A = this chain, B = another copy of it.
């Protein structure tokens, strides 16, 4: 806990020390909260120091009434006042703790879910915190008994939709002739586990899949925790894992109806600087391989090795979507798919939308940080 007491105020050449924490003058000047420097409703900085050649210097510094007050050596006079609580939440000596709690992830497979069966929410009868916590930790959640006419209310309560090509707010997943995507094929084919929109550089996406009707035989939905699969695959086949993190491949989509060819070249498994898996890009139907001859076979070995893992029943959570079910899936972590269905046996009708993950998370984060402003 940062204690600020004027008795503990020490001035140095380029910084001051208050309650044992050092603050550079340049940082304090840059964060000045006076109306000339700081916009009171957006909390954004107006001033910038790039026109100056010299560092700002204080003429006097004092701490009183729980406030640090600095009069800068400037003409016209310029005074900065920092409330104690404001400084407290922004101290950087040493590097501050992140102001947001990290989001814990629970990697899962079928056995884990069997041992820890999640309780699914009923729409209108469950808090944002509850299902959002599932979505954060498991990478997916299921809201049940959501009336179709409430879907738009629900979506709008979270945030904007990420529009995919010329589809509207929602796109309809139904067996149709000449679909622009295999998921719409009139054949009712199975879809192996995949992530969506791998062919575009999108923001992190939550895919929403709402079931309007499901009378067809077959067509069960599946989800797989790609991070869990990647974790196990890395242990068992480190060389294959490395190939999938190091080899850029091309995901592409041709939208004939709309005159677009979109493509993205990137490795299937993306790591961050700490070598942790942050994204899985996997969509067999959209995969193009433009590798040199010498890499082709070893890539296929690694690729099909991983694909076999993805399809292991031990990883699969399989369930039948009922009318009113709304599945939210953290795309690029969780892979989803479906079993084949008989399109002639009855209607299977889903509506899908893509929502920007940042607005789910941004809502959670807002409640954490709002006191800082």
Is the CB–CB distance between A373 and B254 below 8 Å?
A: yes
| Residue-wise interface mask of A (51-72) relative to B, using a CB-CB cutoff of 8 A (1 in contact, 0 not) | 1000000000000000000000
A189 with B45: in contact, given A296-B24, A373-B254 (CB under 8 Å)? no
Answer whether residue A345 sits at the interface, using C-beta atoms and an 8 A cutoff.
Answer: no
The CA-CA distance from A145 to B163 in the complex, in Å, is: 28
Is the CB–CB distance between A48 and B362 below 8 Å?
A: no
Within 8 A of B (CB), among A246-293: 254-256, 258-263, 284-287, 289-293
A sample of 5 more A-B contacts (CB under 8 A), given A93-B292, A159-B166, A254-B366, is A42-B185, A50-B311, A254-B373, A256-B370, A259-B366
A365 with B27: in contact, given A44-B286, A182-B42, A185-B39 (CB under 8 Å)? no
A161 with B163: in contact, given A42-B181, A96-B290, A260-B359 (CB under 8 Å)? yes
Point out the residues of chain B lying under 8 angstroms from A296, CB to CB: 24, 26-27, 92
Q: What copy number does this chain have within its complex?
A: 2
Is the CB–CB distance between A358 and B27 below 8 Å?
A: no
A-B residue pairs in contact (CB < 8 Å), sample of 13: A26-B300, A27-B289, A27-B300, A39-B285, A42-B180, A45-B285, A50-B304, A50-B307, A51-B311, A159-B258, A162-B162, A254-B370, A261-B370
Residue positions of A touching B, CB distance < 8 A: 14, 22, 24, 26-27, 30, 39, 41-46, 48-51, 92-96, 98, 100, 159-166, 178-182, 184-185, 189, 192, 200-204, 254-256, 258-263, 284-287, 289-293, 296-297, 300, 304, 307-308, 310-311, 356, 358-359, 361-363, 365-370, 373
